[in-house]
């Protein structure tokens, strides 16, 4: 959204007027954290563990004495997998509940629905999800893996294993569209050829014809950026046709919502992925985290990539509030931009001051018996895709999502 200055000013003025207490004067004894996630509806496989992770992080912080002596108070809304409810609850959080920070949003659509509201109302916003990259906005911090961190590592690895002819399947919305372009770019850079790119709306669940088309194209490798429950059918039907034994597959999304545990071992085995987190990471930080999760929720089977991202996002924000000694938006942003870093279950996460994205570890993995087996670990990767287009230190007023161009 191109921000209109006048609009922005009047909106802020009106808000300040409407709220008797200005935002900075959080004289109350609590710090207010707002959360908007799909904890029901078709995306709840992503949202529920994210919600649990957020609450776990808040509990820990409160148990350790809170932030600067104040307890964190959570205001959470369930957006029911309905994009329209994001704007509604987003505004409720900023205008009625007047929270100090908002963590949330899952699909890129939901992020774009609330980002303008957050910016307009000067509410600090954390989007803690793996995504297509390119968002450049001083008010938002993103700690999810971006294509340069993920695709750039995954594609050469997979092509090395499988071959040069790549067939791309992607979800038909901005995540899929942009990620597909990144995939094409890295395929070309590694001397391969993209034979076809097919996009599927999120409700497509019959892939019979696609599977026949893929065979007609006869690629060496499939790269799938498919999203949500309906698209899971593709992997089932692929395996049912016996294709999983014939053509290797890599995915930029499968496993983010623990899909490898929904698919059977026979269906999933061998699919290559690259993420920041795996339950199988055998590090003291991860083991401790899984133990805490199990204590809070029974068992740690539900933990997944973006739940951990959300957990790390809350920790990062908390760290910055402590460092700033305040919840004032500008002071917290300054603290975050100082190159702040935390140790999360998935390793070190450092805020990149230039892009407000994260520098983090990426693991190349393979599905094996409903687990994600780590094959290779790439330490502290920079979000170079966004860095190439976005520099918030030089242009703090930039506000757009860049798309890769060829």
Partner 1 sequence: MDLAAVIVVETVYAVASLILISAGLAIVFGMMKVINLAHGEFMMMGGYATITAVNLGINIYIAMLVIAPIVVGLIGLLVERLVIRHLYGRLVDTMLATWGLSLFFVGIVTMIFGNTTTGISTPIPGISIGDYQINGYNFFIVIISILLVLLIYFVLKGTRLGLIARGTMQRSDMAAALGYSPDRIYMATFFVGSALSGLAGAVLAPLVGLVPSSGGAYIAKAFITVISGGPSVIAGLISSGGFFGVVNQFFTFAISPVVGEVALLVSAVILLRLLPQGVTGRFLKGKL
Partner 2 sequence: MREITLQRFAIALVIAGIVMTLLPLMVGTYTLTLLLVYGMLAMSLGLIWGFGGILCFGQAAFFGLGAYAYAIAAINFGESTVPMIIAVLVPAAFAAVLGGMMFYGRLGDVYLGVITLVVTLIFFKFMNSTAGPEYVIGTARLGGFNGIPGYQTLNVPGLPEQYIYGDSLYYVTFIALFVVYWLVNWVLQSPFGRVAVAIRENEQRASLMGYDIRARKTVLFAVGGAIAGLAGAFYANWAEIVTPGLFSLGQSAEIIIWCIVGGLGTRLGPILGAAGLAYLKFKLGQQMLIDNAVITGIILVLFVLFLPKGLVPAIEKIWRLSVGRKRGRRPARSRRGRAASHG
Binding site for partner 2 (CB under 8 A): 1-2, 4, 6-7, 10-11, 14, 39-40, 77-78, 80, 82-85, 87-89, 91-92, 95-96, 107-109, 112-113, 116-117, 172-174, 176-177, 199, 201-203
User: What residues have CB less than 8 Å from 63, skipping those under 6 apart?
Assistant: none
Q: Which is nearer to partner 2, 128 or 174 (CB)?
A: 174
Which DSSP string do the residues of 270-305 spell out, in sequence order? T-EEEES--TT---HHHHHHHHHHHHHHS-STT--H
- Tell me which of partner 1, partner 2, none is bound by residue 213, counting a contact when its beta carbon lies within the kind-specific cut-off of 5 to 8 angstroms: partner 1
- Tell me which of partner 2, partner 1, none is bound by residue 116, counting a contact when its beta carbon lies within the kind-specific cut-off of 5 to 8 angstroms: partner 2
Cα–Cα distance for residue pair 381/169, rounded to 1 Å: 26
Q: Are strands 101-104 and 71-78 parallel, antiparallel or unpaired?
A: unpaired
> Residue 313 CB, nearest distance to partner 2 (Å)?
22
Do residues 198 and 169 touch, judged by C-beta distance below 8 A? yes
Q: Are strands 140-142 and 221-225 parallel, antiparallel or unpaired?
A: unpaired
Q: Are strands 193-200 and 221-225 parallel, antiparallel or unpaired?
A: unpaired
> Residue 301 CB, nearest distance to partner 2 (Å)?
21
Q: 12, 24, 30, 40: which one contacts partner 1 (CB under 8 A)?
A: 40
Q: Which is nearer to partner 1, 38 or 98 (CB)?
A: 38
**Residue 207 engages partner 1 in binding (rule: CB under 8 A):** yes
Q: 188, 204, 384, 388: which one contacts partner 1 (CB under 8 A)?
A: 204
Cα–Cα distance for residue pair 155/152, rounded to 1 Å: 6
> Residue 6 CB, nearest distance to partner 2 (Å)?
5
Angle in degrees, CA 112, 125, 294, rounded to 5: 105
Do residues 356 and 142 touch, judged by C-beta distance below 8 A? yes
DSSP class of residue 4? P
Q: 37, 45, 180, 314: which one contacts partner 1 (CB under 8 A)?
A: 45
Which CB contacts under 8 angstroms, 24+ apart, belong to 259-262? 259/45, 259/232, 259/235, 260/367, 260/370, 260/371, 260/372, 261/301, 261/370, 262/232
Per CB under 8 A, which region of 26-34, 147-155, 173-181, 227-235 contacts partner 1?
227-235
Q: Which is nearer to partner 2, 276 or 399 (CB)?
A: 399
Residue the block writes with tokens 């148990």: 63
CA 229 → CA 86, 158, 191, 263, distances in Å? 20, 25, 33, 11
- Tell me which of partner 2, partner 1, none is bound by residue 351, counting a contact when its beta carbon lies within the kind-specific cut-off of 5 to 8 angstroms: none
Per CB under 8 A, which region of 11-19, 194-202, 293-301, 361-369 contacts partner 1?
194-202
> Residue 353 CB, nearest distance to partner 2 (Å)?
26
> Residue 7 CB, nearest distance to partner 2 (Å)?
5
Binding mask 261-280 for partner 1 (x = CB under 8 A): -x-x-xx-------------
> Residue 78 CB, nearest distance to partner 2 (Å)?
6
Q: Which is nearer to partner 2, 3 or 211 (CB)?
A: 3
What is the Cα Rg of the chain in Å?
Answer: 21
Do residues 315 and 342 touch, judged by C-beta distance below 8 A? yes
Residue the block writes with tokens 């900075």: 24
Structure tokens at 173: 């919305």
DSSP class of residue 27? -
**Residue 301 engages partner 1 in binding (rule: CB under 8 A):** no
**Residue 298 engages partner 1 in binding (rule: CB under 8 A):** no
> Residue 19 CB, nearest distance to partner 2 (Å)?
13
- Tell me which of partner 1, partner 2, none is bound by residue 236, counting a contact when its beta carbon lies within the kind-specific cut-off of 5 to 8 angstroms: partner 1
Q: Provide the binding-site residues for partner 1, judged by CB under 8 A.
A: 40-42, 44-45, 172, 198-201, 203-213, 215-216, 229-233, 236-237, 239-243, 246, 259, 262, 264, 266-267
């Amino acid at each position: 959204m191109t921000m209109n200055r006048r609009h922005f000013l009047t909106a802020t003025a009106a808000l300040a007027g409407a709220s008797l207490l200005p935002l900075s004067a959080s004289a109350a004894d609590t710090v207010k954290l707002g959360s908007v996630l799909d904890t029901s509806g078709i995306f709840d496989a992503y949202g529920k563990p994210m919600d649990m992770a957020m609450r776990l992080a808040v509990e820990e912080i409160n148990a350790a004495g809170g932030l600067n002596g104040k307890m964190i108070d959570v205001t959470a809304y369930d957006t029911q997998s309905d994009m329209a409810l994001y704007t509604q609850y987003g505004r409720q959080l900023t205008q009625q509940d007047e929270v100090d920070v908002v963590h949330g949003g899952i699909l890129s659509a939901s992020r774009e629905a609330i980002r303008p509201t957050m910016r307009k109302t000067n509410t600090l916003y954390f989007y803690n999800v793996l995504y297509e990259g390119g968002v450049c906005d001083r008010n938002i911090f993103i700690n999810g893996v971006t294509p340069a961190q993920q695709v750039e590592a995954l594609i050469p690895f997979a092509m090395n294993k499988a071959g040069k002819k790549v067939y791309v399947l992607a979800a038909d919305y901005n995540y899929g569209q942009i990620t597909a372009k990144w995939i094409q770019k890295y395929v070309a850079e590694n001397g391969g050829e993209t034979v076809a790119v097919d996009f599927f709306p999120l409700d497509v669940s019959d892939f019979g014809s696609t599977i026949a088309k893929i065979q007609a194209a006869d690629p060496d490798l499939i790269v799938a950026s498919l999203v949500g429950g309906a698209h899971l059918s593709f992997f089932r039907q692929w395996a049912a046709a016996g294709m999983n034994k014939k053509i290797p597959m890599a995915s930029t999304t499968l496993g983010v919502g623990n899909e490898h545990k929904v698919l059977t071992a026979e269906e999933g085995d061998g699919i290559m992925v690259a993420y920041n987190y795996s339950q199988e990471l055998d590090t003291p930080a991860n083991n401790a985290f899984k133990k805490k999760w199990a204590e809070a929720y029974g068992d740690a089977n539900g933990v997944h990539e973006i739940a951990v991202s959300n957990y790390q996002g809350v920790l990062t924000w908390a760290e910055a509030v402590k460092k700033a000694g305040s919840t004032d938006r500008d002071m917290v942003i300054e603290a975050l931009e100082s190159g702040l870093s935390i140790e999360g279950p998935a390793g070190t996460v450092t805020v990149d001051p230039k892009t407000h994205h994260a520098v983090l570890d990426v693991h190349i993995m393979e599905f094996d018996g409903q687990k994600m087996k780590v094959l290779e670990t790439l330490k502290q990767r920079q979000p170079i895709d966004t860095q190439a287009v976005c520099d918030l230190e030089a242009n703090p007023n930039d506000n757009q999502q860049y798309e890769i161009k060829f």
